[in-house]
């Protein structure tokens, strides 16, 4: 798996390791808005949330 070089000042997306909800946080970790599970890159899947938005 390649390591993606992300800018520090951008938000980061997680896929919740508990309920599977995908959400964006500012910084390196945050709480899932659905179930409240505390996500960090070790326990939740990090998803690419570059500048591209639909």
- Binding-site ranges for Zn ion (CB under 5 A): 16, 18-19, 21, 32, 34-35, 37
Least distance in angstroms from the C-beta of 43 to Zn ion: 11
Phi-psi region of 41 (alpha: psi -120 to 50; beta: other; left: phi over 0): alpha
Instruction: Output 26 or 38, the one with its CB closest to Zn ion.
Output: 38
Least distance in angstroms from the C-beta of 5 to Zn ion: 27
Give the CB-side neighbour count of residue 3, counting CA atoms within 13 A: 3
Least distance in angstroms from the C-beta of 11 to Zn ion: 17
Residue 11 in tokens: 């938000």
């Amino acid at each position: 798996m390649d390591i993606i070089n992300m800018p520090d000042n951008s938000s980061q997306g997680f896929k919740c390791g508990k309920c599977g909800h995908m959400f964006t946080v500012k910084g390196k970790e945050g709480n899932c808005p659905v179930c409240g599970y505390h996500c960090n890159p070790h326990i939740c899947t990090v998803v690419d949330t570059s500048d591209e938005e639909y």
